[in-house]
Amino acid sequence: MGEDVKSAFRREALRAGFDLCGVAAPTPLASADYLRDWIGEGRAGDMKSWLGRDVESRVTPLHLLPEAKSLIVLGLNYHQEPPLRRGRIARYALGKDYHDLIPPKLELLDAWLKERGGVQRRALDTSALLEKPAAVKAGLGWTGKSTMLIHPRLGTWLFLAELLTTLELEPDTPVRDHCGACTRCLEACPTRAITAPYQLDASRCIAYLTIEHKGSIPQEFREAIGDRVYGCDDCLTVCPWNRWAVETREAGLAALPRPDLREMLEWDDARFRSEFRGTPVFRLKRGRWLRNVCVVLGNIGTVLDLPALERAAADADPLVAEHARWACDRIRAR
């Protein structure tokens, strides 16, 4: 199964809405021991339980589909300019949830390969497969010093998805590292989560603290969170390779309108669910979202926000109440 099928598939992938397509052999992606050591050193934070499960499958594509002959990696550009409003949300999460937008595209491509005799296994970031090493192997870019994938044309703004297939396709050539002497991502990280080039302590990362972390945000990081209410794009935004970034062509990712943070403090669980259903924020649930809102208002809020924060300080959810009290103290101190 050669280049003709591969070229036709690449056109089909673009038609389905993806912006990049690469192919690699389904050989191991990384060292299982390296991943175990990274988790063992505590750099995965609360994620250690699920990242530590089935490590071999994360690094070995053939564990997911033993008959696979090729690993197809797909990239979807999500870049857009964020709206001007209080409380920054990471660009990937401004619109609808990509976990709902990408699977139908994969299903179309799976069906296309099936018509040509292939058996496939689909993967998104909810599966075991390590997607960034897979993308590097398939020639979609290189691992930057931020540990993010960098594509020479689309920069850092990429969702990744994979198809393991029993069809044999010609592998693409990996792209060499073009970071050079640049250290902008390390210098831009507000919490110094990028501890050295190509080294990330996820437990310090604002994306982790505002999304994956389930408990109280450590005091040492609250001020550094600034106005970032969900995730952080700082190491991405400063990357020089984003100078050529273009707007996403996926309409479902367009930024949805949102009320001001102060109004959100008044929301009960039903209102939160109604407002954020179908978006990445929905997985936080009300408690963690309002926790983040309180931290941001503690950093950028004014006396006009105090009445809403004072009511939140009596919230039935102790996570919300504790962060609201902290925010009140911060505003009063200013």
Tens digit of pLDDT at every position of the chain (334 positions)? 455 999 999 999 999 999 999 999 999 998 777 778 778 888 878 777 777 777 788 889 999 999 999 999 999 999 999 999 999 999 999 999 999 999 999 999 999 999 999 999 999 998 878 999 999 999 999 999 999 999 999 999 999 999 999 999 999 999 999 999 999 999 999 999 999 999 999 999 999 999 999 999 999 999 999 999 999 999 999 999 999 999 999 999 999 999 999 999 999 999 999 999 999 999 999 999 999 999 999 999 999 999 999 999 999 999 999 999 999 999 999 8
- Give me the active site residues, please: 125
- Please provide the CATH number assigned to the domain covering 259-334: 1.25.10
Q: 177 and 143 in contact (C-beta within 8 Å)? A: yes
**Residue extents of the structural domains in the chain:** 3-82+92-165, 259-334
Burial of 197 (0-12, 13-18, 19+ CB in 10 A): middle
pLDDT at 1: 46
**DSSP for residue 151:** B
**If you search the block for the tokens 């200013």, which residue do you land on?**
334
Q: 328 and 294 in contact (C-beta within 8 Å)? A: no
69, amino acid identity? K
- Integer angstrom CA distances of residue 282 from 271, 273, 274, 304: 11, 7, 9, 27
Q: 160 and 73 in contact (C-beta within 8 Å)? A: yes
pLDDT at 3: 58
